[in-house]
Structure 1
Amino acid sequence: MKRHFRSSYVKAGIILFLAAAAGFGLPWVLLRFGDEQRLGRVEQEEVSQMELTDQPVLTIVEKIRLMQRASSNSMVLAKGRNYSTDTIGARIAGELDALSELGLPVPSADLEDSVFSMTPVFMMDVESENSFIVWTGEVYADSGVQMELSLDDETGKILSLSCVGSVYEEIGSGTDAADSFGGYLGCHVASKSVSDSEVTGYLDEEMKKIYESEIQNQAESGSTWDDARAQVNERWGLDNLGYTVSVNYGDESGMEVQYWISVSEGDGSLQILPR
């Protein structure tokens, strides 16, 4: 009987000791071990419910359409993946040179001393969760030309361009401009419509009908529409003051995006903008 009571006293003493020790914070190792085990179970359950998916690589058309979607959000970044504020200027200058070599009437003079005010922006469609980084901003050249543009951080391609103050030696044709910019983007021309509103804007309605009729007759004789217009302009003493092109570009995504290309020699303006 005494042995039984002694055993009970010992058990009670151990329980009281552990309770007192807990009050003084002694068994923190045991408590922390228990917390870590419980936390580990929670984290394991959360990770098991998380689904990781690869981010798809978007085509140029998909990126432009993403920018236009109402479900897209944007966030300003400190730098892009491939370019920073220190390197983006050189890339822009190189791309403008490339567009100029393709015959597009873009400012291609030395931009070394120009001011580049460009910002990288993270664009994400909250519905599809597709995303990409685009640079947007302005360029101020010493020549007085001012440009607004956007550039894809992944490919380094200029996606849009608007400038004023350019002095054009030759503006080319609207058809060539549409084809050249599509090739630059890596897209094909799905459809296009070219108008010479800048030229016909100087003619009254009667003269405009005669002008368009002569172009049509010249084209029917075997000339392309652009060549026919140029020949009529030369006979009439008209300079090619500009053109406007509405063009649809497509790519391997199977989708299309519409662009507006407009050149005016009068005020030295150029717009290459998605619609």
Structure 2
Amino acid sequence: MKILVTGATGFIGTALCSHLLKNNHSVHYLVTDATDIKDKKNYKGFLWNPEKNEIDLNSLAEVDAIVNLAGHTINCKWTDENKKQIHNSRINCSNTLFNALQDNEHQVKFIVNASAIGIYQSSETAVYTENSTGFGDDFLATVCKDWEAANLRFEGLGIKTAITRFGLILSKDNGVLHELAKVVSKGLGANLGNGKQWMSWIHFNDVIQMIYQILNQQQNGIFNVVAPNPVRQNEFLKLLASQLNKPLWLPNIPSIFIKIGLGERSALVLSSQHVQSVKLPEIGCKFMFTNLESTLKDLYKSNE
């Protein structure tokens, strides 16, 4: 297959492109900076500017499927301007792809679009599956709902559409685990809030495998991309501290102080979503990592 990837220079996109190439697929990818363009065997970059609804239509040539991962990072201060960028960057990217496919001849039959489990309402008791409709109304949930609505429009063009709601993607070098480990490794780890928040996680390598399998099978619909065994935050931090050989001795940091310090962004550490995937097992996806302790051991094995 020839696959067009957006967000290809991000940490998920980079690994996915590498995996696609290793499995003998051709990759086109879209970037906003000409210095990121490379033209190698089966790997070619093209410019686009989603803010202006501009895209190099050559990027769609002979493309069979699209993986749309593009969007401004949420790992930033949530100023009004950054919140606007987080929201609009996702919608603009999806709209630019939609307009290009609607207005031009192409052979795209399938598209995988990113989303997140942040769409679900924060709860310490609810269990969410792909059939759940208990959506939140905070900033992240609103972004996800608007993003998914923009992406579901591809079905109106006759393009099979998958929405992948990512859980907390665990990587030693990126994301929430990387940030928590920086604190815990200094012996300053502490539960945030009451520590009972559910953390629905997934190993970085499993994310790539799940996207690849959905892509290969061209499976449409909603997919919760999470490992089978979520844990509460206090257990997560306990296992992380143990893996890093550091004590977890500080008292809980009350939610009120976190909200004062982080404002709306406190949702990233205080929200709770117990999420299960029903559909990934149904299509034959097998997780390499289902247990958090063994997952952390794998991620930090170079430290041993």
| TM-score class, shorter | under 0.3
* Bigger Cα Rg: 1
Task: State TM-score, norm by structure 1.
Answer: 0.25
Task: State TM-score, norm by structure 2.
Answer: 0.23
From the two aligned structures, give the one with the greater strand fraction.
1
